[in-house]
Amino acid sequence: MDDIKLHTDEPRLAALLGFRERVWQLVAAIPRGHVATYGQIATLAGSPQQSRLVGRILSRLPTDTRLPWYRVINAHGKISNPNPVRQQQLLEQDGIEVKLYRVKLPAYQWLP
């Protein structure tokens, strides 16, 4: 359901897809070993004020999604997920250092 399908070139795609689909696309593009913030994804998706919606969209992903949703954290570098233990484990599997549910953003933030 959250699989990304590119049928056309980028600009056209952005115009056709809704915000939610662009969020999926962007999250899928976060490289292993890096993180992005909700606000960053919202900005890249074209709506800088929609950080809240990014969290809401991620919260609705199916449990078996292959999207690396766990690479998205808040602007303070902290995990916002109500179940932070799993997210921390997944980040650590990526080789990211997490202390008390916090990540050093300057070291790990994705810069597209």
Binding site residues, DNA, CB under 7 A: 18-20, 37-40, 47, 49-61, 69-70, 72, 74-76, 80-82, 87
Other C-beta atoms within 10 Å of 79: how many?
23
What is the smallest separation between the CB atom of 97 and DNA, expressed in angstroms? 16
In the complex with DNA, the residue whose CB is nearer, 1 or 6, is 1
Residue 34 Cα to chain centre, angstroms: 10
CB 54 → DNA: shortest distance, Å?
Answer: 6
User: How far is it, in rounded angstroms, from Cα 67 to Cα 59?
Assistant: 12
Select 55 or 103, whichever has its Cβ closest to DNA: 55
The Cα–Cα gap between 89 and 106 comes to 20
**Strand partners for 73:** 37
Q: Nearer to DNA by C-beta: 31 or 46? A: 46
- Cβ closer to DNA: 6 or 48? 48
Least Å distance, CB 63 to DNA, is 9
DSSP 8-state symbol, 41: H
* Nearest distance in Å: CB 108, DNA: 14
Asked if residues 88 and 95 have their Cβ atoms less than 8 Å apart, the reply is no
